[in-house]
Amino acid sequence: MNALLLRREAKPLVFVLCLLPFAWLLAGALTDGLGPNPAERLIRSTGDWTLRMLCIALAVTPLRVLAGWAALARYRRMLGLYVYFYAAWHLLCYAWFDMGFAWGDIVRDIAKRPFILVGFSAFVLLTPLAATSFNRAIRALGARRWRMLHRLVFAAAGLALLHFLWMRAGKNNFTEVGVYTAIVAVLVGWRLWRAIATRPATAPGYR
Protein backbone atom coordinates (compact mmCIF):
# COMPACT_ATOMS: atom_id res chain seq x y z
CA MET A 1 0.00 0.00 0.00
CA ASN A 2 2.80 2.44 0.82
CA ALA A 3 4.33 1.78 -2.59
CA LEU A 4 1.00 2.53 -4.27
CA LEU A 5 0.48 5.70 -2.23
CA LEU A 6 3.95 6.93 -3.16
CA ARG A 7 3.45 6.49 -6.89
CA ARG A 8 3.59 9.73 -8.88
CA GLU A 9 0.05 9.33 -10.22
CA ALA A 10 -1.52 8.45 -6.86
CA LYS A 11 -1.89 11.99 -5.51
CA PRO A 12 -3.51 13.43 -8.67
CA LEU A 13 -5.85 10.43 -8.68
CA VAL A 14 -6.93 11.06 -5.08
CA PHE A 15 -7.39 14.76 -5.94
CA VAL A 16 -9.72 13.86 -8.82
CA LEU A 17 -11.64 11.31 -6.74
CA CYS A 18 -12.28 13.92 -4.04
CA LEU A 19 -13.48 16.35 -6.70
CA LEU A 20 -15.89 13.90 -8.35
CA PRO A 21 -18.85 14.54 -5.98
CA PHE A 22 -18.64 18.27 -6.73
CA ALA A 23 -18.39 17.57 -10.47
CA TRP A 24 -21.43 15.28 -10.23
CA LEU A 25 -23.45 17.93 -8.40
CA LEU A 26 -22.39 20.62 -10.84
CA ALA A 27 -23.33 18.44 -13.80
CA GLY A 28 -26.69 17.69 -12.18
CA ALA A 29 -27.35 21.39 -11.60
CA LEU A 30 -26.50 22.26 -15.22
CA THR A 31 -28.64 19.47 -16.67
CA ASP A 32 -31.63 19.71 -14.29
CA GLY A 33 -30.75 16.32 -12.88
CA LEU A 34 -31.06 17.09 -9.16
CA GLY A 35 -34.75 16.39 -8.76
CA PRO A 36 -37.70 18.67 -8.07
CA ASN A 37 -35.82 20.82 -5.52
CA PRO A 38 -32.27 21.25 -6.84
CA ALA A 39 -31.43 24.07 -4.40
CA GLU A 40 -32.17 21.89 -1.36
CA ARG A 41 -30.33 18.98 -2.98
CA LEU A 42 -27.22 21.11 -3.45
CA ILE A 43 -27.31 22.44 0.11
CA ARG A 44 -27.84 19.00 1.64
CA SER A 45 -25.33 17.21 -0.60
CA THR A 46 -22.50 19.68 -0.05
CA GLY A 47 -23.13 19.39 3.70
CA ASP A 48 -23.08 15.59 3.50
CA TRP A 49 -19.81 15.64 1.58
CA THR A 50 -18.28 18.00 4.10
CA LEU A 51 -18.93 15.44 6.83
CA ARG A 52 -17.69 12.57 4.68
CA MET A 53 -14.47 14.37 3.82
CA LEU A 54 -14.04 15.27 7.49
CA CYS A 55 -14.31 11.61 8.47
CA ILE A 56 -11.81 10.64 5.77
CA ALA A 57 -9.36 13.34 6.88
CA LEU A 58 -9.66 12.28 10.53
CA ALA A 59 -9.05 8.65 9.53
CA VAL A 60 -5.61 9.39 8.04
CA THR A 61 -3.63 9.28 11.29
CA PRO A 62 -5.26 6.11 12.72
CA LEU A 63 -4.77 4.29 9.43
CA ARG A 64 -1.22 5.54 9.15
CA VAL A 65 -0.38 4.22 12.63
CA LEU A 66 -2.47 1.05 12.81
CA ALA A 67 -1.98 -0.16 9.24
CA GLY A 68 1.55 1.13 8.86
CA TRP A 69 0.60 3.23 5.84
CA ALA A 70 3.08 6.02 6.52
CA ALA A 71 2.64 7.42 3.01
CA LEU A 72 -0.90 8.50 3.91
CA ALA A 73 0.63 11.51 5.67
CA ARG A 74 1.29 13.15 2.30
CA TYR A 75 -2.48 13.20 1.61
CA ARG A 76 -3.62 14.66 4.93
CA ARG A 77 -3.27 18.31 3.95
CA MET A 78 -5.11 17.84 0.66
CA LEU A 79 -7.96 15.98 2.36
CA GLY A 80 -8.22 18.71 4.98
CA LEU A 81 -8.49 21.35 2.27
CA TYR A 82 -11.25 19.35 0.62
CA VAL A 83 -13.18 19.45 3.91
CA TYR A 84 -13.01 23.23 3.71
CA PHE A 85 -13.82 23.21 0.00
CA TYR A 86 -17.10 21.35 0.53
CA ALA A 87 -17.91 23.37 3.67
CA ALA A 88 -17.42 26.60 1.70
CA TRP A 89 -19.74 25.37 -1.04
CA HIS A 90 -22.30 24.30 1.57
CA LEU A 91 -22.27 27.82 3.04
CA LEU A 92 -22.32 29.41 -0.43
CA CYS A 93 -25.31 27.32 -1.51
CA TYR A 94 -27.20 28.35 1.63
CA ALA A 95 -26.35 32.04 1.12
CA TRP A 96 -27.28 31.88 -2.56
CA PHE A 97 -30.32 29.61 -2.82
CA ASP A 98 -31.90 30.06 0.61
CA MET A 99 -31.08 33.71 1.23
CA GLY A 100 -30.39 35.23 -2.20
CA PHE A 101 -27.15 36.81 -0.96
CA ALA A 102 -29.15 39.20 1.24
CA TRP A 103 -26.31 39.67 3.75
CA GLY A 104 -28.40 41.42 6.39
CA ASP A 105 -30.92 38.59 6.33
CA ILE A 106 -28.11 36.04 6.45
CA VAL A 107 -26.61 37.63 9.57
CA ARG A 108 -30.03 37.71 11.26
CA ASP A 109 -30.74 34.11 10.23
CA ILE A 110 -27.43 32.89 11.65
CA ALA A 111 -28.13 34.65 14.95
CA LYS A 112 -31.75 33.45 15.08
CA ARG A 113 -31.45 29.78 14.18
CA PRO A 114 -29.14 27.72 16.46
CA PHE A 115 -28.42 24.96 13.95
CA ILE A 116 -27.20 27.50 11.40
CA LEU A 117 -25.17 29.28 14.08
CA VAL A 118 -23.29 26.11 15.04
CA GLY A 119 -22.75 25.20 11.38
CA PHE A 120 -21.37 28.64 10.67
CA SER A 121 -19.18 28.39 13.79
CA ALA A 122 -17.73 25.13 12.48
CA PHE A 123 -16.89 26.87 9.21
CA VAL A 124 -15.22 29.73 11.10
CA LEU A 125 -13.06 27.23 13.03
CA LEU A 126 -12.05 25.49 9.81
CA THR A 127 -11.01 28.75 8.15
CA PRO A 128 -7.68 29.29 10.00
CA LEU A 129 -6.85 25.62 9.44
CA ALA A 130 -7.29 25.98 5.69
CA ALA A 131 -5.41 29.29 5.72
CA THR A 132 -2.38 27.70 7.43
CA SER A 133 -2.25 24.50 5.42
CA PHE A 134 0.99 25.30 3.65
CA ASN A 135 4.66 25.03 4.54
CA ARG A 136 5.30 28.75 5.02
CA ALA A 137 2.56 28.94 7.66
CA ILE A 138 4.04 25.96 9.52
CA ARG A 139 7.43 27.64 9.57
CA ALA A 140 5.94 30.98 10.66
CA LEU A 141 3.87 29.49 13.48
CA GLY A 142 6.33 26.82 14.54
CA ALA A 143 5.42 23.14 14.53
CA ARG A 144 4.09 23.11 18.11
CA ARG A 145 1.78 26.10 17.71
CA TRP A 146 0.68 24.85 14.30
CA ARG A 147 -0.31 21.48 15.76
CA MET A 148 -2.19 23.17 18.60
CA LEU A 149 -4.07 25.39 16.13
CA HIS A 150 -5.04 22.42 14.00
CA ARG A 151 -6.60 20.68 16.98
CA LEU A 152 -9.52 23.02 16.32
CA VAL A 153 -10.61 20.40 13.80
CA PHE A 154 -12.03 18.35 16.67
CA ALA A 155 -14.18 21.25 17.88
CA ALA A 156 -15.26 21.88 14.28
CA ALA A 157 -16.21 18.20 13.94
CA GLY A 158 -18.35 18.39 17.09
CA LEU A 159 -20.12 21.51 15.86
CA ALA A 160 -20.66 19.99 12.42
CA LEU A 161 -22.28 16.93 13.99
CA LEU A 162 -24.50 19.14 16.17
CA HIS A 163 -25.49 21.14 13.07
CA PHE A 164 -26.40 17.91 11.29
CA LEU A 165 -28.31 16.60 14.32
CA TRP A 166 -30.41 19.74 14.64
CA MET A 167 -31.13 19.74 10.91
CA ARG A 168 -32.36 16.15 10.95
CA ALA A 169 -34.22 16.48 14.26
CA GLY A 170 -37.15 18.21 12.54
CA LYS A 171 -37.80 15.06 10.53
CA ASN A 172 -36.89 12.61 13.32
CA ASN A 173 -34.26 11.10 11.04
CA PHE A 174 -31.24 10.24 13.15
CA THR A 175 -29.80 7.22 11.35
CA GLU A 176 -27.15 9.09 9.36
CA VAL A 177 -26.40 11.31 12.34
CA GLY A 178 -25.70 8.21 14.40
CA VAL A 179 -23.39 6.78 11.75
CA TYR A 180 -21.31 9.95 11.43
CA THR A 181 -21.24 10.44 15.20
CA ALA A 182 -20.00 6.87 15.73
CA ILE A 183 -17.26 7.28 13.12
CA VAL A 184 -16.03 10.58 14.56
CA ALA A 185 -16.26 9.21 18.12
CA VAL A 186 -14.08 6.21 17.20
CA LEU A 187 -11.52 8.36 15.37
CA VAL A 188 -11.27 10.94 18.14
CA GLY A 189 -11.48 8.30 20.88
CA TRP A 190 -8.54 6.43 19.35
CA ARG A 191 -6.46 9.62 19.52
CA LEU A 192 -7.34 10.13 23.18
CA TRP A 193 -6.52 6.50 24.01
CA ARG A 194 -3.19 6.74 22.19
CA ALA A 195 -2.30 10.01 23.91
CA ILE A 196 -2.96 8.43 27.32
CA ALA A 197 -1.23 5.15 26.44
CA THR A 198 1.92 6.84 25.16
CA ARG A 199 2.16 9.49 27.90
CA PRO A 200 5.41 9.14 29.86
CA ALA A 201 4.90 7.81 33.38
CA THR A 202 6.10 10.29 36.00
CA ALA A 203 4.33 9.03 39.10
CA PRO A 204 6.67 7.73 41.84
CA GLY A 205 6.91 3.96 42.03
CA TYR A 206 5.38 3.44 38.58
CA ARG A 207 6.28 0.09 37.01
Question: Domain for residue 173, yes or no?
Answer: yes
Distances from the Cα of 87 to the Cαs of 32, 125, 188, 204, in angstroms? Answer: 23, 11, 20, 48
Domain assignment present for 202: no
| All residues at 6 or more sequence positions from 169 whose CB lies less than 8 Å from its CB, including other chains | none
- Examine residue 63 and state whether it is found in any structural domain, yes or no: yes
Question: What would you report as the CA-atom Rg of the chain, rounded to the nearest whole angstrom?
Answer: 19
> For 42-57, b where at least 16 C-beta lie within 10 A, e where not — what string?
bbebbbbbbbbbbbbb
Is 167 among the domain residues? Answer: yes
Q: Considering the domain boundaries, does residue 77 fall inside one? A: yes
- Domain membership of residue 203 (yes or no) is no
List average pLDDT for each run of 10 residues in the chain, which is 207 residues long: 93 97 96 93 96 97 94 94 98 96 95 94 97 91 92 96 90 86 96 86 45
Residue 207 inside a domain? The answer is no
Domain span at 179: 2-197
- Summarised one tens digit per residue, pLDDT across range 28-60 is 999 999 999 999 999 999 999 999 999 999 999
pTM: 0.93
Q: How many domains does the chain have?
A: 1
